[in-house]
Structure 1
Amino acid sequence: MYEGAVQDLIDELGRLPGIGPKSAQRVAFHILEADGEDMKRLADAITTVKEKVKFCAICFNVSEENTCRICQDSRRDPSLLCVVEESKDVMAIERTRSFRGHYHVLGGSINPIAGVGPDQLHIRELLSRLSDDTITEVIVATDPNLEGEATATYLYRMLGSIGIKLTRLASGLPVGGDLEYADDVTLGRAFEGRTVMS
């Protein structure tokens, strides 16, 4: 245990996701040793992002305006809606340049152990968006883990009867991977999602 401000900084850094006690200590000492101007810019960037960034009123992606740039883009296909868990998932999909529709960010996934149920997610808002008959396909792009699968199943049950095409992102083997290192679930899904070679 360190004294005062140093321990307070370590404790706060340790509350960040993916940062354990040793990493928090390493980051804290980096901050102590770093140039004061660099750390002031870091502190200003954190303050600015908390003051300026909010969630899009339509899709719940992060935005500095009331509506995000993707929702404002008239060149995107309004009939396609990709449902993701978090804003970082939107950026991952956008990097592929394979999708030109719109998004809906749920704000997480169903996780009863963490106390997150469907009511804590933006599912009601999703249903509202689907009521105007513009959207013809909903692509469920939740994570391929237990919580993501539970969320996808819940969405399928909720949306299965409203006459909109529901699809799920394929999952399977990564490019550049070796079959011998693939886990059973991944390999099984690769077989289930196989495509015809043409």
Structure 2
Amino acid sequence: MDLRDEKVAIAINTLERRAERQDNDLTLYNTYVDCGVLAELSETESQVVYGRRGVGKTHLLHFHRHTCSLKEHRAPYFIFDCQRLGSGTATISPEASVVGRNYAFEFLNELGTRLFGYVETLRLGETKQMHAQEAILAFVDHICSKDGSFDCRNLSSTFRAFCSHAEIERIYIGLDEFVSVPQPAQPIFAHILKQIFASDKRVVFKRGRF
């Protein structure tokens, strides 16, 4: 491979730009220029962040995550790239209902993984940590039943149990690139999340779309 080749140089430059979009919150914090938008982001209410592609919605979400991490205790902030959620098996079916459920399945599994990892960073007592981990395992266990449906009631109750054991005051969930979810499947995906999380005021969604 000739590194001087123009195509190789373009590919490397593209990869570098993609790498800059990853979770380096400090870099994002230092390069972010606020034009008054940040003040519109609520720390207690779910919101949709609108904007054309390339205007900085992802940058804004990561900056908001960093500012929240400086101010709030026990308030994890997870950002999910919906393009990545759909890169596996989420879109293999022509049926919108199946695609929507697939996105929900991948999201919930990834959320369970991140929450389990988050617990390990906390300084909880041994008993509380054990109960928090058990609640997450129960949450993951209820993600999908044998008939392919979601046990939303038990998912909701095990999630609330986890938040209580982990002493979580608030949890932010950013859904970036939501537009990448096929449009007919978006309401199904959103409805499943609403059934599970809407009753818990600790959960704050930020959804990026244009």
Structure ID, larger Rg? 1
TM, length-normalised to structure 2: 0.34
Q: Which structure features the higher share of helix residues?
A: 2
Q: Which has the higher contact order (CA 8 A, sep 6+)?
A: 2
